[in-house]
Amino acid sequence: MSKQGPECCSPLVAEPLSGGQAADLARVFKALGDPVRLRLLSLIASHAGGEACVCDLTDVFELSGPTISHHLRVLREAGLIAGERRGTWIYYRVLPDVLGRLAGVLAPSATGRSVARATR
């Protein structure tokens, strides 16, 4: 998988995923398959300015700093967020292209981007 996440795909309702596409996508969905990680992603994305530092995130959860850091690392390795150190803190932002690609893969065929079957 590229650093920026999976590069595929047509909507999965349009044509069968290849083994490689499925493996790439499964890694990202697995990263999303945890409630803390989903909330972190959502908190970062919806934070003022589209980015959040760890200091904005830790107070929301009753979890240790290392646990939060672990979940952030999983999101980063899945290509869903990027972090940049500025001064004391690392600031995270969501990579919207990856989310957009995932949304495209899950789109039902009626709204799928690459489905152009005539129905008559």
Which position among 43, 68, 82, 90 is part of the footprint of a second copy (CB under 8 A)? 43
Q: How far is the CB of 18 from a second copy (least distance, A)?
A: 8
Q: Is 33 in the site for a second copy (CB under 8 A)?
A: yes
Question: 22 vs 28, 29, 39, 112, CA distance in Å?
Answer: 10, 10, 24, 18
How far is residue 13 CA from its own chain's centroid? Answer: 20
Which position among 16, 49, 66, 87 is part of the footprint of a second copy (CB under 8 A)? 16
Q: Is 53 in the site for a second copy (CB under 8 A)?
A: no
- 88: Cα within 13 Å, side-chain hemisphere: 2
According to DSSP, the β-strands at 51-53 and 81-86 are: unpaired
How far is residue 24 CA from its own chain's centroid? Answer: 12
Which position among 54, 69, 82, 104 is part of the footprint of a second copy (CB under 8 A)? 104
Please give the residue ranges that form the binding site for a second copy (CB under 8 A): 12-17, 19, 22-23, 25-27, 29-39, 41-43, 45-46, 94, 96-97, 99-100, 102-104, 106-111
